[in-house]
Amino acid sequence: MLNNEKALALEYFGKRKTFKQVDKIIDEFARSFISLNGHDRHSITYCIPSLPEGILSFYALNKMNIRANFVSYHFLQTDSDRYISDNESSTLIVFDKFYPLIKESLEKTDVKKIILTSVASFMPFYMKTMAGGDDSIKNVEKMGVKLNPKFEYINMTDFIKDGKKRKDLIASQYKQGETAVHLYTSGSKEKERIAEERRMKSPEELKLLIEEETKQGYIYVKDMNFYQPDRIKDQHGRRWLKCEICGEIKRDNNYIIYRSAHGVNYGRCIACSHREY
């Protein structure tokens, strides 16, 4: 972090943030949680696709030593009490398009506050209107869904703004060995398992582990046919792509453009995307 503060850390529909800016945003999310729930330690449940606010707010919870609980809407439709209440979660962050699908099932849970987010919440201002607007509460109402007076509803954009106003000093409350996140597979019930990531390792140990797993993954996929129609994944279930420009095989987190004329396993890596041809 100290040596790459100005390097690009996040890009979303043209909105670019450096590592230094991301670090600041994470603290702002932490302040937003403090404003919403005080210093309550109960877990926060997420029912959202991959969005910047989900990733950044998760790191804020991690810094505050509060467990995150990521659940697919499929699970919440059928057994919301198990996946929310059993995790002692009273705050839910949900994608506006998912909310109508789980609305009824939330009745029997301990949820008190619902933060609604949309694909536009973290977009550049000029793109928000084209994406339907960032007022997620209105987005839900436009779908003909009535809000339940039992819950307190908050727009993600308002939640973010609240953290920007506060000046709380955010000190890391990291505790080694405590659960950071609950994740649930989307496979069959027989194969369902809870994957708990524990902060048992130091950052240095974790970095070495990731490097070793990446090496093993590369060896596993390097001789595969990248023209095949199925997505190429390594033994850990992580996706790999081949750059259509430089030809290098890299993990999917090294790509900005996925899929190309060559198929689903080709794309354009970050380095090549930033070059002009």
15-28 pLDDT, tens digit each: 999 999 999 999 99
Domain ranges of the chain: 8-198, 203-273
Residue with tokens 């999310």: 29
pLDDT at 258 over 70: yes
pLDDT, residue 142, reads 92
Report the C-alpha gap between 12 and 120 in whole angstroms.
10
pLDDT tens-digit readout, 29-67: 999 999 998 878 789 999 999 999 999 999 999 988 899
Res 86: pLDDT: 78
Packing angle, helices 19-37 and 52-64, rounded to 10: 70
- Quick check: 276 pLDDT over 80? no
Identify which has the larger pLDDT, 207 or 276. Answer: 207
Name the DSSP class of 9.
E
**What's the chain's Rg over C-alpha atoms?**
20
Specify the pTM.
0.67
The better pLDDT of the pair 186, 264 is held by 264
Share of the chain above pLDDT 90, in %: 43
Q: What is the pLDDT of residue 200?
A: 52
CB 45 within 8 A of CB 84: yes
CATH of 8-198, one of 3.30.1160.10, 3.30.70.120, 3.40.50.980, 3.40.640.10: 3.40.50.980
Residue 194: its pLDDT value, please? Answer: 40
State the average pLDDT over residues 141-146. Answer: 92
pLDDT at 151 over 60: yes
Name the residue with tokens 């997505």. 231
Residue 105 CA to residue 72 CA, distance in Å, equals: 13
Segment 71-95 shows an average pLDDT of 86
Q: Is 204 helix (H, G, I), strand (E, B) or coil?
A: helix
Mean pLDDT for 70-93 is 85
Tell me the H-state helices in the chain.
Answer: 19-37, 52-64, 73-84, 99-102, 125-128, 136-142, 156-165, 203-221, 270-273
Is residue 255 predicted with pLDDT exceeding 70? Answer: yes
pLDDT at 119 (0 to 100): 93
Q: Are 147 and 24 in contact (CB under 8 A)?
A: no
What's the sign of the alpha-carbon dihedral 24, 139, 118, 80? positive
> H/E element holding 198?
strand 194-198
